[in-house]
Structure 1
Amino acid sequence: MMKLQLLYNEYLNIKFNRGLPSVRTNCLEYYLLEDNSAQLLFADRKNESFTEWVYELQPRDPNYTVNPDWKPMLSTIFKHLDVYDELILYYLLFTINTTTSIVKINPFNAMNDFMKNYCFFQLAQLTDTSRLNDKQRHQLRDFFFFFFLYTHPVNEETLYSFSFSGQDLVHTKTNINMEHYFSIFHDYYIENLDKHRDKLSLAPHEINASKNLTMELLRSLEGKSTKLTMPPEKGLEAVIQLINDVDYLIHIYSENKTTLFGIMRDFLSDNRSTPYRDHCFSTLLQNYVSYILYFEFDEINDLVDYFKGTPLWCGMIINKIFTDAIFIRKIMKQNHIDITEYKNVIEFFDQEARRIYL
């Protein structure tokens, strides 16, 4: 089995140019492209990637046919599956697999890329969080999973097609368990490789490696695996401890919230910028949004009170909270919060925050 944590470390290493030695995991390894994007490739064939091998297997789109007259490939096993459902399940498979892709960042995709990665990481954390009750955990899981799909982005239909039954992700309409479906999907191609040689160049052991990784990614999303952690970096110990241990974040905030604000202040006063440091700080700020403001939005007043004496830092934190992601917009909408009533907050808004929220 592939160790997902090792792969995740490698993903962060390449994405944020950390310069650490590369790790080959199983028969898949990252390959850096000229535009600074990177794909996970099958090590023995540099022309086939983990995300792209299923391209050729995309089902025909029944939405372009008045009366589709074909059956889903796995219809004998999944009796309730129709050709519309089959396409949606394919989109989910592709969305999960592309979590491993490193794309070239531009102003138009930066927020979506951050949010998809953030939600994947949080879904892998939630099960272990004992300071949230079951209702809170389920609320946040649905919230993160919605944005995981939304920021991919998937079409409207796919966005609302799945739900959790206990810890299992299921296709709501048919009640098909996704772990079961993806397992059968890969096994079918391993067993019927010759029949699909026109679309498939992989060997059985490569499809099996792909299956194992897809399953690990899915189990992480479902919160069934060992939680992922952000790897350490010198000078970031306090920030990374809070990211890797949500219980600790909630605990220190409830004991004395200025402890959390002090860690933010220390980060900003140590004025060194690297892509990984900035990513970790953005993650910490969105954790404050997800685990504190989600349940009590008015806590934002205490943050502003603490930092208003250093307006530059206060503006930096507020604008990152409001423009690195739109989680806070969804939270305000859910709770019918009008941000214009928070004059102390919006006075720190930069042009981008004003454009989005005012």
Structure 2
Amino acid sequence: MEFQLLYHEYLNLKFNRGLPSLQTDPFEYCYYEDDRAELFFAGREDESFPEWTYELQPRDPNYILHPDWQPVLSASFKNMDVYDELILYYLLFTINTTTSIVNVNPYNAMNDFMKNYCFFQLAQLTSSARLNDEQKQQLREFFFFFYLYTHPVNEETLYSFSFSGQDLIHTKTHIHVEHYFSAYHDHYKANCKKYSDKLQISPEEIDACKHLTLALLRTIEGKSARLVMPPEEGLEAVLQLINDVDTLLSIYFENKTALFELIRGFLSNNRSNPYHEHCFRTLLQNYVCYID
């Protein structure tokens, strides 16, 4: 499965674009009765992608004076304690729920927009030629902080991770998140029978979840191909600026009037729909983050 196709399917459903479903095997989106949508394995609706680890959530050591157990992967990550293990689990869940389509209301609208906005921007930074390495690093840290903050996560998780170059690490232990997530999935895949009371998916399905989680992580780290928002009639000029930060910076510094005319022209267009509005909000947010 190509992650770009899954991302386009996510946008198609989230903004009710009414387009034919894209090829996202082995996953497909299914709706709950309240119109939320989650990724499930094609042909079955008993275990969603973000929730397959629900029964594997570590015990919370914060409610016990002296925790007397070891992390599941302590043999592989010797400097990790049970507090670190829980934080890494929270991060795994947070990253996987990037694929979730939630009901937006006045109370969660800003968080929903900013989490998705920051995820998309993290996928853009590496390809920019107009931003220097220091600017990219500052923006990467900024976007990742608000990606977590607007999930939202608890304070311990929010401040537990940082970037070493493009590698996301658990700051305290210096564990590379990609290494941990890979080992995590491999452990449960190899010990599927041992955890049969907590696992509802097969070893092959665990492997598929691993590939998708790592695709999400590498997108956040900027190690994958740049994501782009799909085309739509009437959005050509806006999408050109959204899908390439360098184009936005070029037009601003070389011809500000053209940028402001584009914005004015969009506002005078009466054909607005949820996807149009999202793209326009993204463009305005880009102006704030990259220019203002």
The TM-score normalised by the length of structure 1 is: 0.81
Instruction: Give the secondary structure class of the aligned counterpart of 2:30.
Output: strand
- Aligned 8 A contact 1:50 1:97 in 2: yes
Given residue 241 of structure 2, which amino acid in structure 1 is its aligned partner? L
Aligned to 1:38: 37
- Give 1:36 shift: 2.1
Q: Distance in 1 between the 2:133 and 2:219 partners?
A: 18
1:265 has 2:267 as partner: no
Q: How does 1:336-351 map to 2 (within 5 A)?
A: none
- Give 1:271 shift: 1.7
The structure in which a higher percent of residues are helix is 1
- Give 1:205 shift: 1.0
1:100-145 CA distance string (max 9 Å, x none)? 0000111100000000000000000000111111111111111100
1:250-304 CA distance string (max 9 Å, x none)? 01100011111111011011122200000000000000001001xxxxxxxxxxx
- Give 1:226 shift: 0.1
Q: Distance in 2 between the 1:32 and 1:259 partners?
A: 42
Count of aligned pairs between the two proteins: 292
Q: Distance in 2 between the 1:14 and 1:34 partners?
A: 15
Given residue 229 of structure 1, which amino acid in structure 2 is its aligned partner? V
Q: Distance in 2 between the 1:214 and 1:26 partners?
A: 15
- Aligned 8 A contact 2:26 2:41 in 1: yes
1:249 has 2:248 as partner: yes
Q: Distance in 2 between the 1:45 and 1:113 partners?
A: 27
Q: Distance in 1 between the 2:268 and 2:280 partners?
A: 13
- Aligned 8 A contact 2:137 2:165 in 1: no
Q: Distance in 2 between the 1:292 and 1:34 partners?
A: 42
- Aligned 8 A contact 1:42 1:49 in 2: yes
Given residue 185 of structure 2, which amino acid in structure 1 is its aligned partner? H
Aligned to 2:27: 28
Aligned to 2:180: 181
Given residue 64 of structure 1, which amino acid in structure 2 is its aligned partner? Y
Q: How does 1:283-298 map to 2 (within 5 A)?
A: 283-293=282-292
1:27-80 CA distance string (max 9 Å, x none)? 110012232211101113211100011111100000000000000000000000
1:73 has 2:72 as partner: yes
Q: Distance in 1 between the 2:71 and 2:291 partners?
A: 45
Greater Rg over alpha carbons, structure? 1
- Aligned 8 A contact 1:27 1:44 in 2: no
Q: How does 1:24-103 map to 2 (within 5 A)?
A: 24-103=23-102
Given residue 197 of structure 1, which amino acid in structure 2 is its aligned partner? S
- Aligned 8 A contact 1:119 1:145 in 2: yes
Given residue 197 of structure 2, which amino acid in structure 1 is its aligned partner? D
Specify every segment of 5 or more residues in structure 2 that has no aligned partner in the other structure, as ranges: none
Q: How does 1:1-358 map to 2 (within 5 A)?
A: 2-293=1-292
- Aligned 8 A contact 1:252 1:259 in 2: yes
The Cα RMSD (Å) is 0.7
Q: Distance in 1 between the 2:279 and 2:163 partners?
A: 29
Q: Distance in 1 between the 2:31 and 2:56 partners?
A: 25
Q: Distance in 2 between the 1:7 and 1:158 partners?
A: 27
Q: Percent identity?
A: 71
1:162-199 CA distance string (max 9 Å, x none)? 01111100000000000010000000001000000000
Q: Distance in 2 between the 1:276 and 1:74 partners?
A: 43
